[in-house]
Structure 1
Amino acid sequence: MSEKSEMSTELALLGVLAVLWGASYTFIKIGVETIPPVTFIAGRTLIAGAILLGLIRWRGLAMPRDMVNWRRFMFQACLNSVIPFTLIAAAERSIDAGLATILNATSPIFTFLLTALITRHEPVNLRKLVGVGAGIAGICLIVGTEALGGIGRQLWAQLAVVAATVCYAGAAIFGRNFRGLDPMVPAAGSMICGAAILIPLSLVFDRPWTLTPSTASMLALFGLSVFSTALAFSIFFRLIHTLGSVGTTSQAYLRVPIGVGIGAVFLGESLGPAAWLGMAFVVAGVAAMTIPARQARLAQ
């Protein structure tokens, strides 16, 4: 396969990841209606981890046995699942799925800032700065003045989503430590570690055996675990290696219109008329932030 074809595949996977994670906010909104956030996320990580572990065995791969990798899995679990998943699930008991999607879409901004100021492994250039600006413009157009007006009324929930976004940015950078491992291995390891942290908390605080979740919440948990977690995380770790941390998290711009649209269709959340124009800016932002990675690979 040529370098050009390989990059086309990676960008297609970036789009798939945006759809999977865009849908996750609606799954969460439905799930936490009758399942407490900690228990809901414990179930998410347990199911996703079990699926990924089964796929690893089916493919003839093995999980690492050294403590170095498992310590990394545990740290990645905190950054990429335990803390952000739980914060977003708790926040969505108060805010719309669409608004959570939009606020969480700022992850490329934090990733860009962290890589530029701290790790410095991603080049800072005009094209990426333009991509950041275009993405922010698109997000503002999609949110609309009414959605922005809700921030003051539910400030804690908004701040929780922003805090989760910072965690995701750190996870995107830390994920580069898993070079040399099959992408499914760190995905499974981080999910298993996440479940190991959350299940005891669920048993102590939520007593899940006393809950009576609805069928819709259970189906949402299944869809979230299988598609928006197990499959999505496998794609995520692969893209970290091929597109870089900023390129990978730029799917956050693309998942904004997707997540808002899914919320509108399945939850009855309203879309503003400026959403279509916002999508143009969003796509431009994605292109501006990923084209440099493509050019760099083609030049090799």
Structure 2
Amino acid sequence: MTTTIHTPLDKPVNLPLELALLGVLALLWGSSYLLTKVAVTEIPPITLIAARVTIAAAILCAVMWAQGATLPTDAKSWRMLYLQAVFNSIAAWTILAWGQRHIDSGLASVLNSTSPIFVFFLTLFVSRHERLSWLKLAGALLGLAGVTLIVGVDVLRGLGQQVAGQLAALFGAFLYGCAAIYGKRFTHLPAVVTAAGTMVCASLTLVPLAIVAETPWQHTPSARAIAAATALGVFATGLALLIYFRLVRTLGSMGVASQSYLRAGIGVLLGICILGEAFSLTVGLGLVAAILGVAAINLPARKGG
């Protein structure tokens, strides 16, 4: 029998399907690290992010119009969309990009995977917008432990060094947590409209910034770098955001944030499959812990008797 859960709007949700989409989202965002590494060697960072969100905005607007939907016309919706864009892309990606230049990538992965923990405590003490449990907190901590095992516990030796970079990675995770919570407010808009609107806001902000700060016309990236940037925009941003805003509604803030644990595992698996990196017992244990953490976070709550 198919497991179903109920959203706050009392619509039944096919849990296995939503968890499969969570895995797809983690794959799309996990692959973004590899694509960014290829593109950023030839394209300046702000220009790359601006290109990423502009491509995504164009794709999402095309999908939206094909579905017969339109962007909102009221000022309140646009203020909300801009704030969501700040949380989920404009500020988060810029801060994380800066932080990753100053700390080891493994430690950045661990710190950036703390967003479910931020979601838990922000929900507990501030928003109170969805039901929490000790099992969800245990799942968040188990998932974080899994990520630490996946990237290697040795990365924790860097804690306390390059503090500014570490705080930037943590703040980026905090912003992702805020995005997962604030994204619940867009029930009045279709997911494709929310995704398109946030990327339009991000593009209108980042394109002028890139022009002023990096004079992108002075760079001539290769076809390989352009292809990586295009894939970032189409798949790791456009398609990913369509799935993301659906999952915010079906799995909730904690559920959609839990993909950060799967993302690290997918990054390692891609390295093993594509780059021929070694697979270790510690990595295997970390993958199991991350999957169990995601499962604990997304188990449907029992109804009271």
Normalising by the residue count of structure 2, what TM-score does the alignment of the two structures yield? Answer: 0.89
Structure with more of its chain in helix, by fraction: 1
**Residue 92 of structure 2: which of 63, 76, 84 is its match?**
84
TM-superposed CA distance for 1:123, in Å, is 2.3
The 1-side partners of 2:195 and 2:168 are apart by 24
The 2-side partners of 1:99 and 1:34 are apart by 25
Cα 1:198/1:36, change in 2 over 3 Å: same
Query: Would you say the 8 A contact 2:110–2:144 is kept in 1?
Result: no
In structure 2, the gaps of 5 or more residues are 5-12
More moved, 122-131 vs 278-287:
122-131
The answer for the alignment partner of 1:288 in structure 2 is 296
Cα 1:218/1:153, change in 2 over 3 Å: farther
TM-superposed CA distance for 1:81, in Å, is 0.6
TM-superposed CA distance for 1:203, in Å, is 0.6
TM-superposed CA distance for 1:94, in Å, is 5.2
Alpha-carbon displacement from aligned partner over 1:150-185 (angstroms, at most 9, x marks no partner): 455654433322211111100111101100311011
The 1-side partners of 2:203 and 2:224 are apart by 22
Cα 1:212/1:159, change in 2 over 3 Å: farther
Secondary structure of the corresponding residue to residue 241 of structure 1 = helix
2:131 is matched by which residue type in structure 1?
P
Secondary structure of the corresponding residue to residue 14 of structure 2 = helix
The 1-side partners of 2:139 and 2:241 are apart by 24
More moved, 109-118 vs 120-129:
120-129
More moved, 28-37 vs 92-101:
92-101
The 2-side partners of 1:38 and 1:292 are apart by 40
Query: Would you say the 8 A contact 2:81–2:197 is kept in 1?
Result: yes
**Residue 224 of structure 1: which of 220, 232, 241 is its match?**
232
Equivalenced residues, count: 296
**Residue 123 of structure 2: which of 86, 105, 115 is its match?**
115
1:133 aligns with 2:141: yes
The 1-side partners of 2:275 and 2:46 are apart by 22
Secondary structure of the corresponding residue to residue 122 of structure 2 = helix
TM-superposed CA distance for 1:10, in Å, is 1.2
The answer for the alignment partner of 1:243 in structure 2 is 251
1:177 aligns with 2:185: yes
Cα 1:237/1:194, change in 2 over 3 Å: same
Query: Would you say the 8 A contact 1:143–1:272 is kept in 2?
Result: no
The answer for the alignment partner of 1:11 in structure 2 is 19
Query: Would you say the 8 A contact 2:138–2:296 is kept in 1?
Result: yes
2:47 is matched by which residue type in structure 1?
T
Query: Would you say the 8 A contact 2:107–2:158 is kept in 1?
Result: no
Cα 1:216/1:98, change in 2 over 3 Å: farther
The 1-side partners of 2:217 and 2:291 are apart by 45
Query: Would you say the 8 A contact 1:140–1:278 is kept in 2?
Result: yes
Query: Would you say the 8 A contact 1:39–1:202 is kept in 2?
Result: yes
TM-superposed CA distance for 1:129, in Å, is 2.2
The 2-side partners of 1:269 and 1:93 are apart by 23
Alpha-carbon displacement from aligned partner over 1:241-296 (angstroms, at most 9, x marks no partner): 11110111111111121123324555677765411001111111011000025x56
Alpha-carbon displacement from aligned partner over 1:49-88 (angstroms, at most 9, x marks no partner): 0100011111111111111111111111111110111223
The answer for the alignment partner of 1:43 in structure 2 is 51
TM-superposed CA distance for 1:96, in Å, is 6.0
2:267 is matched by which residue type in structure 1?
G
More moved, 119-128 vs 147-156:
147-156
The answer for the alignment partner of 2:10 in structure 1 is none
The 2-side partners of 1:269 and 1:122 are apart by 40
